[in-house]
């Protein structure tokens, strides 16, 4: 190059180009993270409000696919955030900027990874405490934890936060269940035999071979501990619209059959607690499952305070499937199913 030749001009990209590129990248960053936040939000909302069913949990297959989509997107986004923030911090020549970007990147990454767990925990707690608001009665189903008595479980009935009575479910060999009154927990109800809320149904036997139900009730006119046959009917417990057809023979009851049917076809699942809404022949909701807690507990919302067949009979079937879910969730295996 001649001594007097001019140096080649070094062109620099205009500052505006960097600003435009940065704004576009930041916009993409926001859109992707807002999308992830919406996926997690609808996951938590549907988890806390399983009914009425929506497009996400219309079937178990829909819900599982949505859950997988959310987790894959969230994990991919989390690792992408790690790469992006590490690259930005390493390329930055300003020590002050590094001190600011590093903790921000760490917080964003941790939140992305743990947000589904946080939302699920919050949704479960919220639904457990608020899911049955407006219901006349709530029932807490308690199955045995791992290594507990696998064939026993209890159903605690509450009005508000006050316990009223408890039934026990025994899973017997040869395709039988027995659901019987264990205790009356309300002192005011224990002697009020004429109350509609008094649990006079003493025991119910479920025969899974003939799909029949037979119940015995406590006699208030005869000796205090005597019982008499008071209930019969049929039930269809398969995963194809749970239903009951019951007749109550007690003197103060209508002789008209009581018909209950699930709103949705599938009501129990291999890796989820049972979920069901039962309606009577008039289309009124009788029972609705809420959420499970700690694998072994499940809450039901009841629309009546009466202790009639519609309040007692179907609870045993839901508790039976909750026992299977508790065995899977807490122990990692399934008990032998009756159907």
Residue with tokens 């479980």: 153
- Residue 190 makes CB contacts below 8 A (sequence gap 6+) with 184
- Residue 5 makes CB contacts below 8 A (sequence gap 6+) with none
On whether the CB atoms of residues 279 and 261 are closer than 8 A, the answer is: yes
The pTM (predicted TM-score) of the whole model is 0.78
Domain 137-331 class, CATH top level: alpha beta
The pLDDT value recorded for residue 227 is 85
Residue with tokens 């109550």: 248
Q: Which token pair is 305?
A: 């305070």
The pLDDT value recorded for residue 259 is 96
Q: Which token pair is 114?
A: 């743990």
pLDDT tens sequence for the chain (339 residues): 565 655 555 555 554 555 677 688 778 888 988 999 999 999 888 887 777 777 888 777 888 899 999 999 998 888 888 887 777 777 776 667 667 767 777 787 778 888 888 888 888 888 888 888 889 999 999 998 876 666 789 999 999 889 999 999 998 877 899 999 999 999 888 888 778 888 999 999 999 999 999 999 987 665 556 788 999 999 999 888 999 999 998 766 666 889 999 998 889 887 788 999 999 999 999 999 988 888 899 999 999 998 899 999 999 999 999 998 988 887 765 554 554
Neighbouring CB atoms inside 10 A of 14's CB total 9
Q: Which token pair is 28?
A: 């993409």
Domain ranges, ordered by start, for the chain: 15-130, 137-331
- Tell me the residue ranges of DSSP E strands in 84-149: 137-143
The pLDDT value recorded for residue 251 is 64
DSSP-derived pairing of the beta strands 285-293 and 137-143: unpaired
On whether the CB atoms of residues 219 and 226 are closer than 8 A, the answer is: yes
């Amino acid at each position: 190059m001649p001594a007097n030749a001019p140096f080649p001009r070094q062109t620099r990209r205009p500052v505006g180009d960097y600003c435009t590129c940065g704004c576009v990248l930041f916009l993409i960053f926001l859109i992707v993270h807002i999308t992830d936040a919406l996926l997690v939000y609808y996951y938590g909302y549907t988890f806390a409000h399983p009914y009425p069913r929506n497009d996400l949990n219309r079937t178990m297959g829909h819900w599982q696919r949505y859950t997988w989509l959310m987790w894959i997107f969230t994990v991919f986004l989390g690792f992408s955030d790690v790469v992006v923030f590490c690259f930005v911090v390493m390329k930055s020549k300003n020590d002050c900027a590094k001190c600011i970007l590093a903790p921000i990147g760490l917080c964003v990454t941790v939140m992305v990874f743990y947000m589904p767990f946080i939302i699920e925990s919050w949704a479960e707690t919220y639904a457990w405490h608020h899911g049955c608001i407006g219901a006349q009665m709530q029932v807490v189903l308690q199955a045995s934890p791992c290594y507990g008595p696998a064939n026993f479980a209890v159903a605690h009935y509450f009005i508000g936060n006050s316990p009223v009575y408890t039934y026990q479910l025994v899973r017997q060999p040869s395709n039988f269940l027995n659901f019987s009154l264990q205790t009356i927990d309300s002192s005011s109800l224990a002697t009020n035999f004429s109350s509609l809320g008094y649990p006079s149904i003493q025991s119910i036997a479920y025969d899974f071979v003939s799909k029949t139900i037979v119940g015995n009730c406590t006699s208030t006119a005869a000796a205090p501990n005597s019982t008499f046959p008071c209930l019969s009917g049929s039930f269809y417990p398969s995963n194809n619209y749970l239903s009951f057809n019951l007749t109550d023979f007690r003197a103060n009851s209508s002789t008209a059959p009581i018909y209950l049917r699930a709103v949705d076809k599938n009501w129990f699942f291999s890796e989820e607690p049972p979920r069901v809404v039962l309606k009577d022949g008039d289309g009124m909701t009788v029972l609705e499952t809420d959420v499970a807690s700690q694998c072994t507990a499940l809450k039901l919302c009841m629309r009546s305070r009466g202790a009639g067949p519609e309040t007692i009979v179907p609870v045993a079937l839901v508790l039976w499937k909750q026992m299977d879910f508790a065995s899977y969730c807490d122990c990692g295996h399934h008990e032998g199913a009756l159907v």
